[in-house]
Amino acid sequence: GRYQVIEGIMSPVNDDYRKKGLVSARHRIAMAKLALETSDWIRVDPWESEQETWTETVKVLRSLQVFFSSFYEATDRQKSVRLLVKTNFKYKLPRKLSKQRNLSFPFVFSVLPELKLLCGADFLQTFKTPNLWKEEHIKEIVGQFGLVCISRAGSDPAQYINESDLLTKFQHNIFLVKEWIQNEISATQIRYALCRGLSVKYLIPDSVISYIAHHNIYTEESERKNEGDLLQPLKLH
């Protein structure tokens, strides 16, 4: 294929995003880590959630790109850049970088990695929501980074692209991925089920179910959190 995927990074949004029903970032990070315990390539990055306020998506991408660039330059200085994949090898980050990102890699980079934003196909529709995105940010995200859009029932990403001059201009950097085995599990529906005391076994890992029960989250009360609030990006316009 055109690319080799080397790492997946989940970046939970900051509490200040103010989305209705958004539980504390510390819980979301803990649950994500539990869910990813068996994954050898997807990691949780708490940086975005640890900032003092909500951070725009493009700034999170920039921050990650700086990290990857610094990591690449560090390996280059060590003359390790010529090495390809090495099993069980982990490069020790300089202390300054280690404090910024708690990420490690099982190999060194032979080329500077490209960072893509992974999303559901319906995500493209949000670019049309008034005041939710700055046009220059959309341009940077799609033009400089790129999107990988996973198909979703009821969404037509090709149509969304065709309806937008900006997305059409950068469609070469938008990769549409067709899921041949549809997975329609919805986080919203899982939260609704939890609020009603229904079982979500086999929908999410048992360790996450236990965590939710222990901390009593996703209740009718938590679903009302931030009710009536505007999303933080809408407040900035």
pLDDT at 74: 58
Domain range summary for the chain, segments of one domain joined by +: 8-235
Q: Rounded to two decimals, what is the model's pTM?
A: 0.84
Helix axis angle for 25-35 and 206-215, nearest 10°, is 160
Sheet containing 117-120: give its strands across: 117-120, 147-150, 174-177
Q: Could you tell me the two tokens for 165?
A: 């001059």
Question: Do residues 116 and 175 lie in contact, with contact meaning Cβ atoms separated by under 8 Å?
Answer: yes
Q: What percent of the chain has pLDDT over 90?
A: 66
Q: Which of 50, 45, 98 is nearest to 74 (CA)?
A: 98
State residue 114 phi and psi, 5-degree precision: -100, 140
**Is it the case that residue 2 has pLDDT exceeding 90?**
no
Q: Could you tell me the two tokens for 8?
A: 């997946």
For residue 72, name the pLDDT band (cuts at 50, 70, 90): low
CATH class of the structural domain 8-235: alpha beta
